[in-house]
Amino acid sequence: MTTPARSANRHHKRPRGEGQWALGYREPLNKNEENKKNDDGLNVRQRIIDVYSKRGFDSIDPADLRGRMRWFGLYTQRKPGIDGGKTAILEPEELDDRYFMLRVRIDGGRLNLAQLRVIADISNLYGRGTADVTDRQNIQLHWIEIEAVPDIWERLESVGLSTTEACGDTPRVILGCPLAGIDTDEVLDGSAQIQEIYDTYIGDPAFSNLPRKFKSAVSGCPAHCTVHEINDVAFVGVVNENGERGFDLWVGGGLSTNPMLGKRLGVFLTPDQVAPAYGGVIGIFRDYGYRRLRHRARIKFLINDWGPEKFRDVLEKEYLGYALPDGPAPEQPRGGRRDHVGVFPQKDGNFYVGFAPKVGRLDGDKLHLIADIAERHGSDRVHTTVEQKMVILDVAPDRVDSLVAELEAGDLRVKPSTFRRQTMACTGIEFCKLAIVETKATAANLIDELEQRLPDFKSPLTINVNGCPNSCARIQVADIGLKGQLVVNDEGEQVEGFQIHLGGSLGVNPGFGRKVRGLKATSEELPDYVERVLRNFEKLKNEDETFSDWVQRADDADLK
């Protein structure tokens, strides 16, 4: 029988915490938190330079290899020949290859030609020619050996680039509009704010141990190209009732296995308040973020529990020390696609030219070609987009046609099909240890097939191909989102395939894709399936109806 005293003690026992530092839970509650407490991830840089690069792969401490090295953009890549069925079964050391993926952070997507050429050189010297433009505006290289890393860093830093906090539980790359400062319709240029955030917070030990990764965006783009709705923190250009230009603050967007759209705090920030507000939001995440369970350690879970009102109150009172005025929501995004592909005028009378590599896949030679084409036509700036595309800026009117012709000759399409323009793919099983299926080649083949089968298809249509459930390629907000998994084919064999999400979108009617019961396809069946559903769309849609809107009202039979 329980005595009253024992009952009272049990009643007053401190509840199990979520590892929130601000509430006094400082003891690590899992292995990741213990490793971070034992040694800041930023400290691994010197060990790489002094020890690992000299003694080789076998000298690397496992806690550095599968943890802290991410603080400098390094992940071990997947050992070749391991099929997707073993992804969740094998131990990390069984999946690890002796080579690394290296992520070069490109904040705001801004690159000059010297920087682009250095990345191209590194790709050819150390990465077997690999170079993928990601949907976070970075460039990723593969096949990197630990012995080469110090020289790679020296080359990157000589032109102002870095891999610092490109991965890990850190403030990762800050997205920005690649047209910042030149777009004729932009609300305002967020470049200075991106630079201030970078200079103030990136590499600062005060913010290098977050509960998990932290993704950011700052933009005044009228097309909302930085997909602010799905970032941990986003600053979106607005004009208030007094005609002042500033930023609207969003917090808590993110996809993965628990997708959530960001929430507006309802404040108006002047440009000089952006960096302090960023520091406040990331400080709240550091101090109040959930650290007990890895899958709940993103800021979206915290604001979902608190609500935007409480989050704003804590930000103002505990971190800023002053109240922020209310502000307007952003205008609806400018019509059309959000990728900046094509030829368009700049504010200064020159033109920018956006082009589409196939699913972001490039190589060192192609990067050199892009730099050479830009230079021949008077440009020193080639920027990356969040749709795995690139943009050459500052092209004089009389040089545009020649530049476009050279890009097209290099299979860098300025006037691509809808399928080439709006299909994205994550890294996939070729290199990623989390992946279950192949993605890049599958997506490239899908593009080729659809261009042949549906040459007159003109409607905007996003197809996002992901190798696992983690949604690096944003499957839930695509018109057609493909989540990699093993499926059973007609012969009863387990093969690579995809669960299909339909009708996701951002912008005017944001929402996650519809999952139709049992709707899956093998990789081999994918072109047939997509062709079939697009023909149904063209036959059954109303005038000017988008694919996403049609999906929401379509019968299941028309989606299979």
Amino acid symbol at 215: K
What are the tens digits of pLDDT across the range 97-151? 999 999 999 999 999 999 999 999 999 999 999 999 999 999 999 999 999 999 9
Cα(494)–Cα(266) distance, integer angstroms:
49
What are the tens digits of pLDDT across the range 303-331? 999 999 999 999 999 999 999 999 999 99
Burial of 479 (0-12, 13-18, 19+ CB in 10 A): buried
- The confidence score (pLDDT) of residue 15 equals 58
Find, among 425, 429, 214, 388, the residue nearest to 300 by Cα.
214
Report helix, strand or coil for 440: helix
This model's pTM is above 0.85: yes
CA dihedral 160, 164, 166, 168 (to 10 degrees): 180
In order along its 560 residues, the chain shows pLDDT tens digits of 444 444 444 444 555 789 999 999 999 999 999 999 999 999 999 999 999 999 999 999 999 999 999 999 999 999 999 999 999 999 989 999 999 999 999 999 999 999 999 999 999 999 999 999 999 999 999 999 999 999 999 999 999 999 999 999 999 999 999 999 999 999 999 999 999 999 999 999 999 999 999 999 999 999 999 999 999 999 999 999 999 999 999 999 999 999 999 999 999 999 999 999 999 999 999 999 999 999 999 999 999 999 999 999 999 999 999 999 999 999 999 877 888 999 999 999 999 999 999 999 999 999 999 999 999 999 999 999 999 999 999 999 999 999 999 999 999 999 999 999 999 999 999 999 999 999 999 999 999 999 999 999 999 999 999 999 999 999 999 999 999 999 999 999 999 999 999 999 998 889 999 999 999 999 999 999 999 999 999 999 999 999 999 999 999 999 99
Cα(250)–Cα(267) distance, integer angstroms:
9
Burial readout 223-243 (b: 16 or more C-beta within 10 A, e: otherwise): bbbbbbbbbbbbbbbbbeeee
In whole numbers, what is the pLDDT of the chain averaged over residues?
95
